[in-house]
Amino acid sequence: MDSPIIISLFSQLKLDKYANTSLYIQLSDYIIDGIKQGKLLPGYKLPSTRRLSELLNINRITVSKAFQELEQQGWMESFIGKGSFISSSLPQLSNYEFSPGNSDFLKHSGFKISKNISIDSHYPVINSRLRLDDGFPDLRLSPIKELTKAYQNQSNSRKFYFQYGTYSTPSGSRILRKSLSEYLNYSRALQTTENNILTVKGTTMGIHLVCSGLLEPGDCVVMENPGWKRAEDNFKFFKAEILKVSVDTYGLSTEELENICIRKKIRLVYVTSHHQYPTTVTLRMDRRLELIRLSEKYKFILFEDDYDFDFHYKQKPLQPLASLDKHGMVIYCGSFSKILAPVFRLGYLVASENVIEHLTKIRLITDRQGDYVLENAMAELIDEGIIQRYLRKAVKIYKERRDYFCFLLNRDLTDQIEFSIPEGGLAVWCQFNIKTNLINLSKKALIHELDISNSHIVHNQPLHSNFIRLGFASSTLEELEENVSILKQIM
């Protein structure tokens, strides 16, 4: 005979036939809640499926499905000829504290996060019609159709399942590393093989891997001032001591750097040699040679972030520090994100073989491997000369945009903005009138559908200096004219 308490408990249940949740799930959830609240104790006998179907006015099959679900989860056990019971192996859950819970648990966890990471991670997604960004390429010029076709070629290959049906080396596609090696040796005068290259998902990942594998807490890292805040965030996260060296018209001050080296043991120097970020100045040759000499003398790692080597307008680009390195002190980092578009997460590290082997092990426990289909598609674009032809075309267009943008700034905003015409890169480093509040300027511009780069997030420089990067490459000449017109209007 069924217990009056059990009958009373189930009489309180109101099943909703119109709810999104199935009736048998509603019933099983109700029984589980009863167990958690101590209303249904281990060993309690449940009413038969026939009796419950009568009590709840539902089909007997629905009750059977609920019992089956509970039995599979371990909440219930059934015995032929005896009936169904709350599992005797369960503890007395009434002794456990099943509190109502934290109504804000989706926002705030119940456990403590001990690491306090002071990183501004707020990146508003703004789909404005116009933009003066931080220096991005124009997606409309990028060989997207060719990349898409190459990606499809990889996906439709008869060897697809043989090539991609299992995991491969975390160092990246051998096809891309081989193509990259030949491309970098030709375009940047490097002396690499595929074993000197590790593919990554952009510069930030490359920096993070180097920090993971080559930095210890307390190591001294030297950065440019001003510099890239995202790099600094990585060094801070790994508890490095960060020292700043000033940047002038000719790039990082090697004299300041040596003064630091005399006083302290430096583990790593992070430098954007070609177009310094954010100021866009090029590191002069004498300082390049001096940096190489200092790295050999004081045995520090030179991390060369060459994020936009390909975009230089005055003359042939200066060869990277890595091309001058004969002692294995340089780790060279490049990215296709700055060539094609930020959405394509594909970059590379170049270093001595033992360094690449070491960092590959770190990558293995961080990100098993990259997107081999994308990597092989990119290799196809390099091997067929598509990337090279695109860059030759893009450099001409971006130079024209740079010249016209600088002309417009001089014509319309000469009393508001000071700048030097950059020799390369995709942005102009502009100093606004000290009376101009850049945050308010950005808000006003957005009302006119113009998005201005949020520079305080990515540049480790004081806000009162009133410098920001204004990217010209992603806008046509007509759009640049409208952009400057808006700036003139709101200033």
Do 214 and 247 share a structural domain? yes
**Residue 130 in contact with residue 486, Cβ under 8 Å?**
yes
Distance CA(386)–CA(292), nearest Å, equals: 33
> Given phi > 0 = left and psi -120 to 50 = alpha, else beta, which region is 95?
alpha
Q: In this structure, is residue 105 part of a structural domain?
A: no
Do 260 and 357 share a structural domain? yes
Do 399 and 369 share a structural domain? no
Do 398 and 321 share a structural domain? no
Handedness of CA 478, 480, 482, 484 (dihedral sign): negative
CATH at 21: 1.10.10.10
CATH at 246: 3.40.640.10
Q: In this structure, is residue 74 part of a structural domain?
A: yes
Do 39 and 165 share a structural domain? no
CATH at 476: 3.90.1150.10
Do 159 and 191 share a structural domain? yes
Q: In this structure, is residue 226 part of a structural domain?
A: yes
Do 458 and 344 share a structural domain? no
Would you write out the chain's pLDDT as a tens digit for each of its 491 residues?
Answer: 566 767 778 878 888 888 888 888 988 898 888 888 888 888 888 888 888 888 888 899 998 999 999 999 999 898 888 888 888 888 866 555 555 566 676 777 777 777 666 666 656 666 788 989 888 899 899 988 888 888 888 777 666 555 665 666 888 888 899 999 999 999 999 999 999 999 998 899 999 999 999 999 999 999 999 999 889 999 999 999 999 999 999 999 999 999 999 999 999 999 999 899 999 999 999 999 999 999 999 999 999 999 888 888 887 778 899 999 999 999 999 998 888 877 788 899 999 999 999 999 999 888 877 677 888 888 999 999 999 999 999 999 999 999 999 999 999 999 999 999 999 999 999 999 888 888 888 889 999 999 987 655 556 665 457 888 999 999 999 999 999 999 999 98
Question: Among residues 388, 404, 419, which one ends one of the domains?
Answer: 388
Do 470 and 365 share a structural domain? no
Do 398 and 295 share a structural domain? no
Give the C-alpha distances (Å, rounded to integers) separating 259 from 213, 222, 240: 27, 12, 19
Distance CA(459)–CA(338), nearest Å, equals: 17
Reduced to 3 states (helix: H, G, I; strand: E, B; else coil), residue 161 is helix
How many domains is the chain partitioned into structurally?
3
For the packed helices 144-156 and 372-383, what is the interaxial angle rounded to 10 degrees?
A: 120
pLDDT digits (tens, 9 = 90+) for 31-74: 888 888 888 888 888 888 888 888 888 899 998 999 999 999 99
Q: In this structure, is residue 206 part of a structural domain?
A: yes
Do 71 and 20 share a structural domain? yes
Whether the upstream peptide bond of residue 278 has omega within 30° of 0, thus cis, is yes
Q: In this structure, is residue 163 part of a structural domain?
A: yes
Confidence (pTM): 0.80
Query: HSE-up of 414 (CA within 13 Å, CB side)?
Result: 5
Q: In this structure, is residue 200 part of a structural domain?
A: yes
Q: In this structure, is residue 251 part of a structural domain?
A: yes
Question: Among residues 324, 353, 388, which one ends one of the domains?
Answer: 388
Distance CA(17)–CA(258), nearest Å, equals: 77
Question: Among residues 355, 388, 421, which one ends one of the domains?
Answer: 388
Q: In this structure, is residue 192 part of a structural domain?
A: yes
Do 444 and 371 share a structural domain? no
Do 382 and 474 share a structural domain? no
- State the distance between the two ends of the chain, measured CA to CA, in whole angstroms: 85
Query: Which residue shows structure tokens 């209303």?
Result: 39
Quote the domain boundaries for residue 82: 4-95
